[in-house]
Amino acid sequence: MPEPAKRGRPGPRRALTENQILDAALTLLDEGGTDAASVRGIAAKVGVAPNAVYTYFPDKAAVIKGLVERLLGEVDHGLFVDRDQPWRQRVESLALELRTRLSAHPGVVPLMIGGPMDGPNALALNERLLELLADAGLHPADGARAAYLLIVYVFGSIALEVADLPQPGPLPPESERIGTRLLAFSATPPEPYPRTAAAAAELAAYISTEQYLWGLHRLLDGITTS
Amino acid sequence: MPEPAKRGRPGPRRALTENQILDAALTLLDEGGTDAASVRGIAAKVGVAPNAVYTYFPDKAAVIKGLVERLLGEVDHGLFVDRDQPWRQRVESLALELRTRLSAHPGVVPLMIGGPMDGPNALALNERLLELLADAGLHPADGARAAYLLIVYVFGSIALEVADLPQPGPLPPESERIGTRLLAFSATPPEPYPRTAAAAAELAAYISTEQYLWGLHRLLDGITTS
DNA sequence: TACATTATTTGTACGACGTACAGAATTAAC
DNA sequence: GTTAATTCTGTACGTCGTACAAATAATGTA
């Protein structure tokens, strides 16, 4: 929505766009963890003075907010708006899609939990979920509560996963912690401990996804039998 | 566990203790929010130079960790270790106790989610929950999964509450459109019901607790019918 | 009592952070 | 060519976490 333009115009060759800034922020978060998204770092990444960022965003919080919004905007609604599909499958698609999108950028999760998610895309997703549950035949009141439960589950699950993962580059000194965690949470204790960090990460990913689905099914059972 | 002491001894009047530092940190968090717990602020609160804190904690993260641990150490185990009580009630007691403890200090929640919770008290709680579920007759594998689900639910719920996400609003008026009703308790309360801020807070507290219990029951239903 | 030893606290300093403000640079409209 | 609008930079302030060395005060030993 660019204003109709007044007298004078752009600036000097316009070195920046909002999306470049968000790209830089996301890259930094992905490779350096939650604390790596500094305004100065972002500016450096796009080759600009630190305060140039403030031409496009009022403050750092706005950058984060924009980033979260863009991420949420990427979720594929096509997966769960199809009214001909069984509703449980649609909920599952939504939950899995969200999880996939978010855990692809673990550094973002603490930031998005840190502040209110009231952007248009967040609200749109909320709305979709409510519609979906209404399609499932739930009374609006029950639909709202079920939506709450599902949202809590999705975000809680991701937050827990992220909190457990090593934030910065190198993996933790000992994979012992992963081992005990899996022992506590997984159905079958990993008989052979993962040798390499990559194997450990892969196993953890598999188990946590499987875990996630199991919990989701229990949730759905709870909702339907109420 | 103070070392047996060598030759010389204390310092100059020992102005500090770990607990005083944690107290100051908690007070700051309570009255100023998550960002208010700065090392300098803590030091000022106990009337000491900023770096004096580093005599007792290696860094700020350790202070936070100590604070979380102390908080978790305060949960009353007596409420749910009684094997003669019905297990569902015991789980409920644990979940509610945790929620009460944590939402009494909302500023702490993002901090505790920010890092792994691997302190002794956290692990002890985990252990208690697993024992409880074992008492309930759940197969160890199912117990572990149920524990995961419950933990996700408890922390996710609290995190969501703290993050000011859209929670289900007042239930009665069913004629309203489903989407807009959810907005009733998000970021800025529009015009509806509560007149005073105190009344609104009270109502919100009631609703979110009630919501929490409902979700918990759905969870428990899901677990038992699996 | 005097001394040496040790734990605690402070003084000072550094680098990184978010961001405010004034000006330079650049472009478009007149 | 002048003018007005926009974008970016230079510089600066206050705050943060925290490292290092010196000052302080209490203790155990002599």
> What pLDDT sits at residue B205?
66
Whether nucleic acid strand C comes within 7 Å of the CB of B15, the answer is yes
Nearest CB to B182 within list A114, A126, A218: A126
Superfamily of domain B18-70: Homeodomain-like (1.10.10.60)
Fold (topology level) of A77-224: Tetracycline Repressor; domain 2 (1.10.357)
DSSP structure string for chain B? ------SS---SS----HHHHHHHHHHHHHHH-GGG--HHHHHHHTTS-GGGGGGT-SSHHHHHHHHHHHHHHTS-GGGT--TTS-HHHHHHHHHHHHHHHHHTSTTHHHHHHHS---SHHHHHHHHHHHHHHHHTT--HHHHHHHHHHHHHHHHHHHHHHHHT-------S--SS-HHHHHGGGSSS--SSS--SHHHHHHHHHHHHHHHHHHHHHHHHHHHHT-
| Tens digits of residue pLDDT in B129-149 | 999 999 999 888 888 888 888
> What pLDDT sits at residue A2?
34
Interface predicted TM-score (ipTM) of this complex, two decimals: 0.79
Q: Which tokens hold the place of A148?
A: 């709450």
Chain B: nearest CA to A149, how far in angstroms?
Answer: 6
B152–A215 C-beta distance less than 8 A: yes
User: Which of A121, A160, A177, A180 to mutate to probe the B interface, most B CBs <10 Å?
Assistant: A160
Q: Average of pLDDT values for B30-36?
A: 92
Superfamily of domain B75-224: Tetracycline Repressor, domain 2 (1.10.357.10)
Nucleotides of D under 7 A from a protein CB: 3-12, 15-21, 24-29
Q: Which tokens hold the place of B78?
A: 């007596």
> What pLDDT sits at residue B23?
97
Residues of chain A with pLDDT under 70: 1-13, 164-207, 225-226
> What pLDDT sits at residue B8?
42
Pick the CATH number of A18-71 from 3.40.630.10, 1.10.10.60, 1.10.1740.10, 1.10.730.10: 1.10.10.60
- A206 versus B198: which is more confidently predicted? A206
- B192 versus B66: which is more confidently predicted? B66
B61: chain A residues, CB-CB within 8 Å: none
Nearest CB to A226 within list B164, B183, B218: B218
Q: Rounded to whole angstroms, how far apart are CA atoms A67 and A61?
A: 10
Does residue B61 sit at the A interface (CB-CB below 8 Å)?
no
Question: What's the half-sphere exposure (Cβ side, CA atoms, 13 Å) at A74?
Answer: 12
Task: Find which nucleotide's C1' atom is closest to A6's CA.
Answer: D5
Does residue B110 sit at the A interface (CB-CB below 8 Å)?
yes
| Tens digits of residue pLDDT in A167-224 | 333 333 333 333 333 333 333 333 334 445 555 566 666 667 777 777 788 888 887 7
A226–B222 C-beta distance less than 8 A: no
Domain boundaries, chain A: 18-71, 77-224
